[in-house]
Amino acid sequence: MKKLFVLFLILLAFGTGYTVGSSGLKDVKKSYNALKEEMSVKIRGMEEEVSSMRVRMNLMEAKELLESARSDVKEKNFGRAEERIGKAKERLAKAISLSSDARKKSLAPVQSELETIQEEARRLNPKAAVRIEAVEKELEKMTG
């Protein structure tokens, strides 16, 4: 009988230890899942921020190229201006590809305006400088 009682106490201790240990494991899993979800949200936010910064960087590069193109037009170097406007169009296209749908809609008119300006530069029109400056201002507003 004494051996049976000792066996019962051992089984009771084992059962209690197992129950306490498994409840701790459940708490750890719950904490892990909460942290995992929190990190996922933070990572998504950071990815969106990085994408936004890439768009902004491409827009700023396009603006800088347009500043140089405007100087070229004023100096009557239309070939160089056309080349720089083409590069600015590439930068703008890259920014559009990385942008959200709402921003794509606001950038589309700028892209078509650059096409018009590039055509004016091909026709050696010195008034292209005024249009370039307007697009520069528009890009300045978009980049902050």
Give per-residue pLDDT as tens, 22-57: 777 788 788 899 999 999 999 999 999 999 999 999
Structure-model confidence comparison of residues 23 and 131, the more confident one: 131
Residue 29: per-residue pLDDT: 86
What pLDDT digit, counting tens, does each position of 53-72 carry?
Answer: 999 999 999 999 999 999 99
pLDDT tier at 103, thresholds 50, 70, 90: confident
pLDDT for 85 beyond 80: yes
CB 96 within 8 A of CB 104: yes
Longest dimension (CA), the chain: 111
Q: Closest Cα partner for 58 from 85, 92, 16, 10? A: 92
Average pLDDT score over the chain: 89
Give me the half-sphere count of Cα atoms (radius 13 Å) on the Cβ side of residue 31. Answer: 6
pLDDT reported for residue 143: 85
